[in-house]
């Protein structure tokens, strides 16, 4: 597992040993099974490799240690997390914001996001500010890459956006041992034009300070940039893997249009 992650990150044994503060010889012995690593060493190595929490757990378990992150089913803890996410989402209204899990599945969203999806023809999504059950979540990657869902056709600079999102998703899922994530990437590749994007170098988004998202909704031309928010010092696996993506207006015209589109209220 260590060798797989090190290779994926493009690190030599020497580079990883320097980052983790361990000798190259000892690291080599750990990778080949000639030495049994301590729990502390595995935490250092997984930190230096930037392994996601779920994969750090898998690494510790493979070495016979207790996982460091737990996925709690405690009702009070889940309610506190849902409240925190909803609070962040409300602060972003009327601008669209959505919380996604490690597989890019939408978990919760605000009124701005619901309004925007409705304008794109997605009328049957659940109401905002409620945690969506696993079996009813829709995937943001599907929305971007599947032409049948209506969102892809509204993105005017689709090739640039798709290239950025696809390479980001591939980097996040490349070395994971989660077969579900790999299955999602395999599904994305089957959509038209996606394999060609992966076969080429990442698209240059231009000279702006961020990659804009240009969209056409009916007669409206909208331009956004995105930010990603994570929960600070999370201890729960679900909390570790949540990301809140917010779509901010990139110009005053888009801001005025978004404010006019989204109804005012709780």
Domain boundary among 62, 87, 108: 62
Assess if residue 70 is contained within a domain: no
The DSSP element (H or E) to which 214 belongs, if any, is strand 213-217
pLDDT at 208 over 80: no
pLDDT at 60 over 90: yes
Assess if residue 166 is contained within a domain: yes
pLDDT digits (tens, 9 = 90+) for 150-197: 899 999 999 999 998 888 887 777 656 567 777 888 889 899 998 888
Domain boundary among 62, 86, 114: 62
Phi, psi (rounded to 5 degrees) for 214:
-95, 125
Do 231 and 155 share a structural domain?
yes
pLDDT (0 to 100) of residue 265 = 61
Q: Are 197 and 159 in contact (CB under 8 A)?
A: yes
Confidence of residue 30 (pLDDT cuts 50, 70, 90): very high
pLDDT digits (tens, 9 = 90+) for 85-138: 999 999 999 999 999 998 899 999 999 999 999 888 876 788 899 888 876 788
pLDDT (0 to 100) of residue 152 = 93
Do 247 and 182 share a structural domain?
yes
Assess if residue 67 is contained within a domain: no
pLDDT (0 to 100) of residue 27 = 96
Domain harbouring 233, CATH code? 3.30.450.180
Averaged pLDDT, 22-40: 95
Do 100 and 49 share a structural domain?
no
Do 142 and 89 share a structural domain?
yes
Do 111 and 174 share a structural domain?
yes
pLDDT at 256 over 60: yes
Do 118 and 146 share a structural domain?
yes
For the chain, percent of residues with pLDDT exceeding 70: 93
Assess if residue 266 is contained within a domain: no
Domain that holds residue 87: 75-261
pLDDT at 207 over 70: no
256: number of Cβ within 10 Å: 11
Assess if residue 106 is contained within a domain: yes
Do 245 and 159 share a structural domain?
yes
DSSP state of 147: G
pLDDT (0 to 100) of residue 56 = 92
Assess if residue 215 is contained within a domain: yes
Do 95 and 52 share a structural domain?
no
Do 213 and 144 share a structural domain?
yes
Averaged pLDDT, 54-59: 91
Determine the Cα–Cα distance for residues 196 and 112; give it in Å rounded to an integer: 33
Do 120 and 53 share a structural domain?
no
pLDDT (0 to 100) of residue 181 = 75
Assess if residue 69 is contained within a domain: no
pLDDT digits (tens, 9 = 90+) for 66-97: 998 887 777 778 889 999 999 999 999 999 99
Do 204 and 128 share a structural domain?
yes
Half-sphere exposure of 199 (CA within 13 A, CB side): 5
Domains contained in the chain, number: 2
pLDDT (0 to 100) of residue 231 = 87
Assess if residue 172 is contained within a domain: yes
Place of tokens 């392994």: 51
Q: Pick the residue with more confidence: 184 or 59?
A: 59
Do 13 and 43 share a structural domain?
yes
Domain harbouring 58, CATH code? 1.10.260.40
pTM attached to this predicted model: 0.82
């Amino acid at each position: 597992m260590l060798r797989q992650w090190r290779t994926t990150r493009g690190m030599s044994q020497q580079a990883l040993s320097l980052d983790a503060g361990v000798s190259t010889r000892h690291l080599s012995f750990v990778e080949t099974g000639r030495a049994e690593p301590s729990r502390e060493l595995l935490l250092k190595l997984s930190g230096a490799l930037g392994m996601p929490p779920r994969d750090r757990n898998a690494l510790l378990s493979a070495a016979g240690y207790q996982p460091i992150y737990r996925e709690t089913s405690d009702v009070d803890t889940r309610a506190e997390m849902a409240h925190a996410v909803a609070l962040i989402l409300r602060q972003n209204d009327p601008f669209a914001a959505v919380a996604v899990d490690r597989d890019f599945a939408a978990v919760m969203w605000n009124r701005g996001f619901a309004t925007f999806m409705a304008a794109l023809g997605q009328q049957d999504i659940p109401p905002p500010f409620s945690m969506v059950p696993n079996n009813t979540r829709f995937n943001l990657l599907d929305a971007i890459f599947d032409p049948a869902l209506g969102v892809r056709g509204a993105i005017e600079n689709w090739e640039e956006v798709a290239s950025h999102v696809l390479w980001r998703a591939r980097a996040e899922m490349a070395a994971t041992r989660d077969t579900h994530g790999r299955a999602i990437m395999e599904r994305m590749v089957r959509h038209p034009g996606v394999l060609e994007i992966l076969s080429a170098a990442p698209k240059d988004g231009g000279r702006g300070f961020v990659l804009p998202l240009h969209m056409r909704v009916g007669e409206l031309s909208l331009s956004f940039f995105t930010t990603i928010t994570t929960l600070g010092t999370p201890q729960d696996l679900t909390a570790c893997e949540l990301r809140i993506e917010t779509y901010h207006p990139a110009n005053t015209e888009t801001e005025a249009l978004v404010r006019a589109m989204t109804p005012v209220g709780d």
